[in-house]
Structure 1
Amino acid sequence: MTHSLRTYLKAIVVSVLLLAAPLWAVSASAQQSTPDAAPAAPQAPTVIRTVQVQGNQRVEANTVASYLLFGRGDPYSEERIDMSVKTLYATGLFADVEIDPRDGNVLISVVENPIINRVILEGNKSLKSDKITDEIEAEPRAIFTRSKVQEDVQRIIELYRQSGRFAANVVPKVVQQPQNRIDLIFEITEGPVTGVKRINFIGNNEYSDRKLRGEVVTEESIWYKFFSSNDNYDPGRLEFDREQLRKFYTDRGFADFRVVSAVAELTPDQEDFYITFTLDEGEEYRWGDIKVKTELESLDQDLLRRLVPIREGELYRASDVESAIDTLTFAAGTSGFAFVDIQPEIKRNRDTKTVDLVFNMVEGPRVYIERIDIIGNTTTLDYVIRREMELVEGDAFNRILLDRSRNRVRALRFFEEVEITETQGTSADRAIVEVNVTEQPTGEVSFSAGFSSADQFLVDLSITQRNLRGRGQLMRFVIRASSNRREIDLRFTEPRFLGRNLAAGIELFDVTIDFLDEAGFRQSRTGGQISLGFPLTENTSLTARYSLRTEGVDVPGLNCAAILADPVAGAQNNLCLQEGDRLSSIGGFTFGWDRRNDPITPTRGFDVRFSQDFAGIGGDVQYLRSDVQANFYRGLLKNVVASGKLYGGYIEGWGGDPVNVNDRFFKGSFDFRGYENAGIGPRVLQTNELTGEVRRGQALGGNAYGLAALEVSFPLFVPSLLGSVFAEAGTVGLLDDQFKFETVDGNLRTETIDDLSIRAMLGASVFWESPFGPIRFDFTKPLKQYEYDERTSFQFTTRTRF
C-alpha cells in the first residue's frame, strides 16, 4: 500500500470518529439515566493532595489525622471518607464531624465535646453522693457525651430501684462554662420507698408460707423492721430467692422441684409490691442405688463407696452430690491421683421415687504449672507469699494443694482477701496460677483506753508491725496498764530463721499482776524467753522454748515478820512463807494440731494445743506444768457456727518442792465467764459457828483445772451485731497438802476449801462493732455454784483507739 493511500484512509477514520463522538456522549447519558443500562467505564480516581483540620481546640490536628483512614497521596474513596467520620465519632471526642473533599484538598471540620468541670447531685437524700458517683462514669475532667450521660441516668435509677424507690426520676442538666467546659447536674426526685406488702406462695403443699418466707432473702415490710434493707422489691434479689427455694426443696427430697414463676405486682396506690411465687413441688425422692466406678487400678471401688457420705434409703439431697465429689477427689489425691475427673450420673426412677447415682472416676489430663503470678502485694515481698505455696512452677496442678496454699497465705493475716485462680498457659497442658491478694494494714501505733467489769480501767500503748519491711517478721512493743495488771513486753519473731522453715523468736518482759483483792498478794515477773518453732507435718507443729526470769511474791497486807515468828500463825498464813524473789529457769514445748477448714473463721474442724513446761534447769523453782486446749467447730446454718472447747491443766512440784502461789492456776473472769477474777477454786473461809456467818477469805488458786464449754454464735438483726449462747462447766483445785489447814479460835473456824467442786453456767453474749471500738456484753445464769464463789451476772469490755 502506497503512502498516499495510507494517508487517505487515516483521514477517513479520523472523520468518522469526530462525527460519532456526539452520539457516544448521548448514548452514555442515556445509559446513566436508564436503570438497566450497562455500567460506564470507571474514571481515574482523584488523588488527595492536602488534609486540613479546623474547629479543634484541645485535640491536636495530628491526633485528628491519626484516626483517618486516608492521607496525602491516597486515592479518593467515599467508603474511606465515611468510615473516617464514623471513627472520629467513635472516639467520643467530638460532637460533630464533617469531611469536605474539595477536589482533593480535604477539609475536616470538627466540633469538640465539652469537658465536665463538675458533677453535681441534687435531691439525693436516701443515697449518699459517694455511692452514686462510684457507679456512674461521669467525673470531673472527663469528656461529656449525651449517650454516656443517659447511661448514667439509668444507673442512678437502677440504684434507687435496688433500694426500693421505683418512682425515682433523674433529669440531667448542663450549665455552660468558659473554655468549652460544662457543669453536669443530675436533678434527682427520689420518690417514696416501695416496700413488699406481701409474699405469697402458690402450689406449696409440704411447707407453709411462713416457712418458705424464712428461706427467701426478700422480706415483708413491717414497721418494726427498721434496720432491714431487704424489705423492698429488687429483681436481682428475686432471682436469688428462686435459687434459694430450689436449694431448700432439692435438699429435702424434692428432686423435680421448680419455680414456675415469680411475679411482682404493684399495689393500686403504687407504694408496695405483691410478690407471688408459683411452685411445682413434685414428689419426694430417696436415694436408691449408689455406685462408684473407676478404671484406675490403685483405687479400691469398695473403699471409695464406703467413703461416699450417702446411704441408700436416705432422703434425697442435691448438695450431697457435691460433698461426695469433694470426698472422692480428696481420697484420690491422697492416693497420688491429682488429676481425677469425677462425673456423677443421676437417674430418677419416678415409679419407685428413688434416685440412682453413679460416680464415674477417670484420670483426667495432666496439667502442669507454668507460672505463679503474685498480684496485689504492694508491701509484702513476693517470696513471703511464695514460701507459703505448696506448689511451685513445674509441679503438677493439684486443686487440694492450692486450697491448702490459700489457707496458709490467709493464716499470715497480712491480707484482707486472698484468691487463687488458674488460667490456661501457653498450651493445653500448662496452667498459670494467679494469687490475688489485697493488702491490709499490718503496722499499728495505737493508744487504747477503756473500761471493763473485769479489769476496771485499762490503758494500752503498743507499737506493732506483723509484717516488718514486708518480710513477714513480727516486731511488737507493748505497755499495758489496768487496775490489776502492769506489763511491758518487747517481742521479735523471724518466721524463716536461717532461710529454713523455722520460726525463731525472742521476748523480753516485765509484768506485775495484782491479786491483792482476790488472793492477798502481788506477783511480779521479769525476764526473757527464746523460742524455735517448726512444722512436723501439714497439720502439726512443734515449738520449743526456754525462759529465764525472776519471779516475786509481795504480801503488803500482812506483817510477815511477826507472823513467821509465830509457828502456828506462820502455818496458817502460808503466803508469808512464799514471799520474796525466786529465779525460774524453764524449758518447754507446745505441740499443735490444726485441722480447721479456715484459720480465721472456721466452720468445721478442730485445733489442739498441748504444752509442757519443766522448771528446774537450775534456778530456785522445780515443777512440771502441763496444759491442753482443744477447740471444735461445726457450721449449722449459714453464718451460724457451733463451737466447743475442752481446756485442762496440771502442775506438780518435784524434788520435794511445793507449787508456789504465783505458779498456780487462777481462773475466772473471761476464762470462766460469770465469775470474778480468781472467783472459783480453793479459798480460805472463816465461819462463825455461833451465827453461821461465812466470810470469804483469800483465793489460793489450784494445781489443776478443767473447763468444758459449748457455744453457738449467730448474726443478729444489725450487721454490726453478733450474738451467742453458751454453756460452761469447770473446776479448779488440788492444792498441795502443806497449804491446807483448819483452825478454831473460839467460835471462829478458819479452813481451806479445796474439793474440786464443779461449777456450771448458762449465758449469752452480744458483740458490737461500735463506732467507738469493739464492745462485748456477757450475761450469765449459774446452774451450780457455791456461796463462797465470787460471781458476776453481767460483765462487759470495751476499748477505743484514738
Structure 2
Amino acid sequence: MRSVFAAALMASGAVLSFTGLSTPTAVAQEGETIRSIIVEGNQRIDDRTIQSYLLVEPGDIFDPDRIDLSLKTLFATGLFADATFDKSGSDLVVRVVENPIINRVLFEGNSSLDDDKLREEIQAAPRGIFTAARVQADVQRILELYRQSGRFSATVEPQYKPLEQNRVDLVFVMTEGPVTGVRAINFIGNEEFSDRRLRSEVVTKQSRWWRFFSSNDNYDPGRLEFDRELLRQFYQNRGYYDFRVVSAVADLTPDREDFYITYTIEEGEQYTFGEVNVETQLDKLDSDILRRIVPFRDGDLFRGDAIEDTIDSLTFAAGIAGYAFVDITPRLEADPETNKVNVTFAIDEGPRVYVERINIIGNTRTLDRVIRRELRVVEGDAFNRVLLDRSRNRARALGFFKEVEITERPGSKPDRTVVDIAVQEQPTGELSFSAGFSSVDAFLIDVSVSERNLRGRGQTAVARISASDRQQLVDVRFREPRFLDRNLSAGIDVFSTRSDFLDVSNFETQTIGGGLSLGFPLTENTSLGFRYRLQSDEINVRDLPIIINEDGTFVSSRIQTAGADTPDDFSDDQFRGVTSEDVGTGELLVDQCDIRYSQRNTLCRSERADIASIVGYSFNWDRRNDPIAPTGGFDMSISQDFAGVGGDVTYFRTEATAATYRGIFKGVRASVRVSGGFIDELGDEEGVRINNRFFRGGSSFRGFDVAGLGPREILVQINNETGEETLLQSGNSLGGRAYWQTTGELTIPNYLPEEYGIDTSLFIEAGSVGLLDQDTDFDPPSITGVGTDTTQVLVTRDDLSLRASAGLSVGWDSPFGPIRFDFSQILSREDYDRTETFRFSTQTRF
C-alpha cells in the first residue's frame, strides 16, 4: 500500500507524476507540415479519441503554440497522468500515460461514520478516474464530516494499491480521535435574560452525560453561525429591535477535548410597534382593508416574526385578488426617543418568476411521484411562497420523513427559479413483538408487521395480532393513496375482535368482518370519505344461575354458608351461588337472561348474534398550520353511519369533533377539542344494542375508568321510614345513546433533553354520556332484599350530568413504544361513577 502523495514524487510516467511534460524536442523547419500523428502509451483510450482532443491534425504545420494548447487540452480531460509531444521526421508523436481506473474505494478506521455515508459524500467511485486533485478534495470533505460530528483531531491518509491493467484500490485510512464537545456556553452583556434561558434557545448544547443520544453537544462552527441567528430572532421577538451579537468565540480547552463558547451581545432597548401603514398602487388592493390584516397595532410589543407573518398574509391576500406576483417590502423606522418602530408595508407588482425545475433530494426510498403529488406547485407554475409552505406541510404529513426543507436558487434566466426539496427518510416499516402491562389492559402481547410506505409508493399495509386481558385482535389492512392513479384513496380491512367487558358491563363480544373505504379531497383543506363494513356481532352476557317463582319473580341468586352479615358482593366466601339442590317447591333454576324471568336485565336483550351491514361517510376540514405540532388553525370532522342496508341491525349514528390550536410561546401550545355523538335505532323495538352505544372513560376521558361514567345499574338501600337512598354497589355500565365532551390541553416545557422524547401537558376534561331510551333501556326496580328497616333495590341511573377532571399527562416515546402516564383529579362526578387518579398505558403505532 502506498501513500498517494508519495506517489506524486515518483519519476516521469509513474502514477500521478506530473513531471516530464514537454513541447516538441526537435525544432521544425519553417513551413514544414505534419504528415501523421502517432499515439503511443494508451491502453484504454483509443487513438482517435486522443487525436480528437488535439488542436492540430495531419496537413497542419508544426506550430509550437497550437501544440502547447493541445497538451493543455489533454490534461484538462483528467484522463492522463503524463503526456509528451515529440517530432519524428514529419510525424508528430504523442506519448501518454493514462490515469489509473479506481477498482474499489475502501475505508479503514472509521467507526462513527459508516461506509455508506462516506461514499455519498466523496467523488471517488469504482470505475472512476484516479487523480490526486480529486483524492485531495475527498480528504477535505471527509475531514469536514468529522468536524461536523465534533472530531476536530481526526486525520485522513489516502493510500492506493496498484493492480494489473492500470487499476488501483483506493483506501482512506482514518484516525478519528475523540469527540470534541462543548464544555460551557457563556454570555456577556445579557441583563434581561439569564444564561440558562439563552442556552435553551440555541441549538448547541453543553456536553453532559445524559446527552448520549444527541450530537448537538459536539462543537460545529456551522452550527455556531445558526445559533447567532437564533439569538437574534429570540431577542427581536421580544421587542429588542437593536439587538446584535457582537462576537461568538470558541476557545479550545488546554486538553484539546472541548470548547468554551462565549457570546458577546448588546441587548439594546425594548421597542413597541408605532404607526403601521400599508401602501399600494395596485387597483384591486385597498390599503385600508389590507391594514386590517396586519396582526399588530400601535403600542404592541415589537416582534420580528410578526413582520414575516404579515408579509405572508398580505401575499396570500394579494393572490386571492388576482396578483400572483407581488413584491412586499417592509420599511422599518426606529425612533430611539420613543422606543417605537414605525412599519410601512409597500406592495408593488413584482417581477414575474416561474418555477423552472423542482428537484427532489434525499428520497433514497420514496418514489419521486409520491412526493410530487403532494406539492401545490409544478414546473412552469408561478412561484408562490404560500403554496410552497403548504407543499412542505403536506409532504411532512405523509409521515415518511424526519424533515422536509424547501430552498430556492436562481434558474437559467432571471425570471426562472429552481426549487430544491430536501427530505430525510425515516423508517416506515416495522416488525415488532412487544409484551407489557398497563393499568387499562393488564397484560399485553402484540405482534405486528406494518409498512406505511410499501415499496416507496406511499401504500400502507398492516398485519397485526394483539392480545390483552380485555381484548384479542387480528387485523389485516391495506390502503392505496392513489387508486387507479387518481387523487382517490382506497382501502380494505379484514378483522376479528373479541372484547371482554365482563368487569365493567357484564358482557363480552365477538366481531368478525371486513370493510372497504374510498376517499378523495374536495378542496385544498377538505376531504370526503365513504366506507362500507359487513360484520358479524355476537354478544354474550355473563351466565348467572338464579331461582325464580313460577310467576317469574326473583327468589335468590346465592346461599349463605356462614356468618350473619350480608356481603357487598358475590365474592365473599361465606356465600355460594345457587344450584339445583336449592330449588324449592314451585321454584325454577334459570339463567339471569332466561325469558321466563320477568325482571330480567335489559342487557339480556342484546344477547344475540346478528349481521350488521353498515355504510357511512366522513367529512374532514383541516386548517392547521402544522400537521404534527400545530400552533395555529383548527380542524373539524363529521361522520355518519347507517346500519340497515341488509343485515339484522338498524341504526343511524352521527359523531362530530372540532379542535382549535394556539401557540402561546416556544414550547407552550394550547388546544381545545369539542366532540359529540348520537345514535338512534331505526325500527328495532329492543332499542340500540349495548355494543353500539357510546362508552367513555380510560383513554377517552381521563380520570375515569374504562366505561367509568354514564348510565349504570346500581344497588341502593332505601330507608323504609324516610325513603332516603344509600348507594351500596355500582353495577353494569350501560353506555349511552349520546355523549358530549370538551378537552383542553396545554403542552408545557419540562426542561428535559429533547432526545429523551418526554413531553408533558396539563389537561382538563368535561362532558357526559347518557340519554337511554326509557321504554327499552330501563328495567323496573328489582328488589333484592327486604328487611325490617331497609329495602335493597337494583335500579338504573341515567343522570346526564356534568363530569369533569383535570391533571397532568406525561408521554414518553420510549425504545419499547409510546408510553403515557396520566395523573388525574376528579372535579365533578356522580356517586356511582368509577374513577381513577392514575393510569399507565402503552400504545402501538401504525
Same fold (TM over 0.5): yes
Match of 2:349 in 1: 363
| Alignment of 1:743 onto 2:783 | yes
CA distance in 2: counterparts of 1:160 and 1:433, whole angstroms: 29
Instruction: Using the TM superposition, give the Cα deviation of residue 242 of structure 1 relative to its aligned residue in structure 2, in angstroms.
Output: 1.5
Amino acid at match of 2:825: P
| Alignment of 1:296 onto 2:282 | yes
Match of 2:755 in 1: 719
Whether the 8 Å contact between 2:446 and 2:464 is mirrored in structure 1 is no
Match of 1:17 in 2: none
CA distance in 1: counterparts of 2:392 and 2:35, whole angstroms: 64
Distance 1:634 1:63, change over 3 A: farther
Superposition map of 1:9-408 within 5 A: 44-365=30-351, 399-401=385-387, 403-404=389-390
User: Aligned with 2:315: secondary structure?
Assistant: helix
Whether the 8 Å contact between 1:546 and 1:586 is mirrored in structure 2 is yes
Amino acid at match of 1:724: T
Q: TM-score, normalization: structure 1?
A: 0.79
Amino acid at match of 1:739: F
Match of 1:702 in 2: 736
**Residue 758 of structure 1, aligned match among 791, 803, 811:** 803
| Alignment of 1:581 onto 2:609 | yes
| Alignment of 1:789 onto 2:797 | no
User: Aligned with 2:317: secondary structure?
Assistant: helix
User: Aligned with 2:633: secondary structure?
Assistant: strand
Distance 1:672 1:307, change over 3 A: same
Superposition map of 1:648-687 within 5 A: 648-653=676-681, 658-673=687-702, 676-686=705-715
**Residue 733 of structure 1, aligned match among 762, 770, 776:** 770
Amino acid at match of 1:706: W
Whether the 8 Å contact between 2:525 and 2:622 is mirrored in structure 1 is yes
Amino acid at match of 2:761: V
User: Aligned with 1:701: secondary structure?
Assistant: coil
| Alignment of 1:563 onto 2:592 | yes
Instruction: Using the TM superposition, give the Cα deviation of residue 309 of structure 1 relative to its aligned residue in structure 2, in angstroms.
Output: 0.9
Instruction: Using the TM superposition, give the Cα deviation of residue 608 of structure 1 relative to its aligned residue in structure 2, in angstroms.
Output: 0.7
Whether the 8 Å contact between 1:672 and 1:728 is mirrored in structure 2 is no
User: Aligned with 1:260: secondary structure?
Assistant: strand
Whether the 8 Å contact between 1:608 and 1:629 is mirrored in structure 2 is yes
CA distance in 2: counterparts of 1:380 and 1:194, whole angstroms: 35
Distance 1:46 1:263, change over 3 A: farther
Whether the 8 Å contact between 2:279 and 2:346 is mirrored in structure 1 is yes
Whether the 8 Å contact between 2:178 and 2:257 is mirrored in structure 1 is yes
Distance 1:625 1:95, change over 3 A: same
Q: Tell which deviates more after alignment, 710-719 or 497-506.
A: 497-506
Whether the 8 Å contact between 2:712 and 2:734 is mirrored in structure 1 is yes
Distance 1:435 1:721, change over 3 A: closer
Amino acid at match of 1:776: I
CA distance in 2: counterparts of 1:408 and 1:165, whole angstroms: 37
Report the number of matched residues. Answer: 754
CA distance in 2: counterparts of 1:315 and 1:441, whole angstroms: 43
CA distance in 1: counterparts of 2:398 and 2:728, whole angstroms: 52
**Residue 661 of structure 2, aligned match among 619, 626, 633:** 633
Query: What per-residue deviation string (whole Å, max 9, x for no partner) do you get for residues 355-375 of structure 1?
Result: 211111123355677899999
Query: What per-residue deviation string (whole Å, max 9, x for no partner) do you get for residues 641-686 of structure 1?
Result: 5444222223344666533212211223332346554344333344
CA distance in 2: counterparts of 1:381 and 1:262, whole angstroms: 42
Distance 1:141 1:532, change over 3 A: closer
Percent identity between the two aligned chains: 49
Query: What per-residue deviation string (whole Å, max 9, x for no partner) do you get for residues 297-337 of structure 1?
Result: 33221121111012112222222211111111112222333
CA distance in 2: counterparts of 1:118 and 1:383, whole angstroms: 34
Match of 1:18 in 2: none
Distance 1:56 1:673, change over 3 A: farther
CA distance in 1: counterparts of 2:177 and 2:422, whole angstroms: 41
Match of 1:777 in 2: 820
Question: Rg bigger for which structure?
Answer: 1
Distance 1:392 1:734, change over 3 A: same
Amino acid at match of 1:660: R
User: Aligned with 2:122: secondary structure?
Assistant: coil
Q: Tell which deviates more after alignment, 502-511 or 103-112.
A: 502-511
User: Aligned with 1:604: secondary structure?
Assistant: coil
CA distance in 1: counterparts of 2:738 and 2:97, whole angstroms: 87
CA distance in 1: counterparts of 2:427 and 2:154, whole angstroms: 40
Between Structure 1 and Structure 2, the one with more helix by share is: 1
Whether the 8 Å contact between 2:703 and 2:826 is mirrored in structure 1 is no
User: Aligned with 2:72: secondary structure?
Assistant: helix
Instruction: Using the TM superposition, give the Cα deviation of residue 290 of structure 1 relative to its aligned residue in structure 2, in angstroms.
Output: 0.8
Superposition map of 1:597-608 within 5 A: 597-599=625-627, 602-608=630-636
Q: Tell which deviates more after alignment, 492-501 or 545-554.
A: 492-501
Whether the 8 Å contact between 2:727 and 2:832 is mirrored in structure 1 is no
Amino acid at match of 1:743: I
CA distance in 2: counterparts of 1:578 and 1:531, whole angstroms: 28
Instruction: Using the TM superposition, give the Cα deviation of residue 73 of structure 1 relative to its aligned residue in structure 2, in angstroms.
Output: 2.2
Distance 1:714 1:450, change over 3 A: farther
Whether the 8 Å contact between 1:523 and 1:551 is mirrored in structure 2 is yes
Q: Tell which deviates more after alignment, 319-328 or 406-415.
A: 406-415
**Structure 2: where are the runs of 5+ without partners?**
1-27, 547-589, 720-725
CA distance in 1: counterparts of 2:680 and 2:514, whole angstroms: 23
Whether the 8 Å contact between 1:676 and 1:792 is mirrored in structure 2 is no
Distance 1:598 1:78, change over 3 A: same
**Structure 1: where are the runs of 5+ without partners?**
1-41
RMSD: 4.5
Query: What per-residue deviation string (whole Å, max 9, x for no partner) do you get for residues 258-300 of structure 1?
Result: 2222222223343333322222333332211111111223322
CA distance in 2: counterparts of 1:638 and 1:364, whole angstroms: 34
Query: What per-residue deviation string (whole Å, max 9, x for no partner) do you get for residues 192-239 of structure 1?
Result: 443333333233333333332222222333445444423333211111
Whether the 8 Å contact between 2:710 and 2:833 is mirrored in structure 1 is no
Amino acid at match of 1:669: G
Whether the 8 Å contact between 2:543 and 2:591 is mirrored in structure 1 is no
Instruction: Using the TM superposition, give the Cα deviation of residue 83 of structure 1 relative to its aligned residue in structure 2, in angstroms.
Output: 2.6
Q: TM-score, normalization: structure 2?
A: 0.76
User: Aligned with 2:121: secondary structure?
Assistant: coil
Whether the 8 Å contact between 2:532 and 2:614 is mirrored in structure 1 is yes
Q: Tell which deviates more after alignment, 659-668 or 159-168.
A: 159-168
Distance 1:516 1:357, change over 3 A: same
Amino acid at match of 2:690: V
Instruction: Using the TM superposition, give the Cα deviation of residue 513 of structure 1 relative to its aligned residue in structure 2, in angstroms.
Output: 3.1
Distance 1:413 1:207, change over 3 A: closer
